[in-house]
Amino acid sequence: MKKKIIALIMNCVLTVGLLTGCGSNQKEEAGAGAGTAEEEVTEKNAPEQTSGEERSGSADAAFKYGFISWGTADEHGRTLNAAVKWAVDAAGGEVVTDGSAISAESTVAAAENLIQSGCNMISFCTYAGEASVAQISKLCQENGVYWTMWDTTIADPDIAAMIAEDPYYVGSTSEDNYTAGYNTLKSLAEAGASNIILIKYGVNIPTCDDRCKGAYAAAEDLGVNIVYEIVTPEDYKKATQDALVAYPDTDAVLLTGSGSNTTSVVAAFQEAGKEKFYIGAFDYFDQMGECLKDGELTVINGGHMVTGTFSALMAINAFQGNPLSDEKIKVIIPYLTLTSYEDYELYKKYASENAAYTSQELQACIKADNPELTIDSFQEFIGKWSIEDIQARRSE
């Protein structure tokens, strides 16, 4: 077992290579939304509101909810921040955001910033490494601030043991990344791919590692080849071009994160004279609709902006004195998997350009409004997240 100090040092060293994680092109977005300021959310992204008189719960005390991300310049970051606001608005609170977190150090600084601004709760993701967790836990305990992690799985056992003893730590949200990695490579194979390059967006990041493990398992089961693995490339296009020279039979790429680099991978295939190729990716990006329409993108997983929504609801319940569990919570959130332009249009209509949940639906996830809520019913509600579920609820 690695010692805690070694794990923390390694995570700090790896920070630079991890800035493409969690689906954002963070080098371009650094500073986007930086500082502590309430994010603007367009009216079409705002959920249907319920007045204070109509709420049945007793949680009338105002609160500030602090949310930490890398910014809002891309599709993933923009929808992520909007989806947090759905939950906080439903509970009658105020969202304060810091979009400057592009490293472990800046994540800690963002937490300090939000706590100093008076936030009663904060939430962050460890896409820049786990080195931030111990310091944020200490900050929250010192200031009596509840906290959660969104889109996060903790790999270091010492850190996991430490936060298990933190009375202000509520829990985390994450996805079943092993299964998602398996199914994404399966989609590529079913489409016709046989020789695949795997591109990792980070090192020693459980989210990325689990996606890769699933992909390798699928390759073995389905009899296709992962011919080469690229790790945290500085230039996705050049790295893909070099790999295509070394492995000319390559006909597919699986991006385990940072889906915004799909366009660079497409350009590499096209300039290599490849007319037919297959790309699978994680994390939505602004050009994905056109890539799906043109057949350049075979499958993409994303729509996990609600990882922030449900992290917020977990923290709000605890802050209001109604924790969903006596234990630390870990809930699994499905991806929205798009395999066609039609899927993309449904996503845009029902989730990206409009609120996927109404305030009433989210209030059912707050015990002050719904005393019958349990951790099991909370997870059951979350587990329904899909294009089909959104479409069914919005068309009622």
Res 46: pLDDT: 44
Give CA angle at 98 (282, 123), nearest 5°: 65
Res 164: pLDDT: 97
Res 395: pLDDT: 74
Res 55: pLDDT: 42
Mean pLDDT by 10 residues, the chain (396 residues): 38 37 37 36 41 43 94 91 97 96 96 98 92 97 98 93 98 96 98 98 88 98 98 97 98 96 98 97 95 97 95 98 96 94 93 93 98 97 92 79
**How far apart are alpha carbons 386 and 258 in whole angstroms?**
21
Nearest to 302 by CA among 286, 287, 332, 281: 281
Q: How far is CA 18 from CA 25, 202, 231, 294, 305, in A?
A: 10, 5, 10, 30, 19
Domains of the chain are 4-175+304-334 (3.40.50.2300), 177-302 (3.40.50.2300)
Res 128: pLDDT: 85
| CB atoms inside a 10 Å sphere around CB 345 | 14
Nearest to 324 by CA among 357, 292, 372: 372
Q: Contact, 223 vs 254, CB < 8 A?
A: no
Nearest to 279 by CA among 267, 222, 115, 213: 267
Res 28: pLDDT: 35
Res 206: pLDDT: 86
Res 74: pLDDT: 87
Res 274: pLDDT: 96
- Identity of the residue numbered 9: I
Q: Assign 169 to helix, strand or coil.
A: strand
Res 60: pLDDT: 59
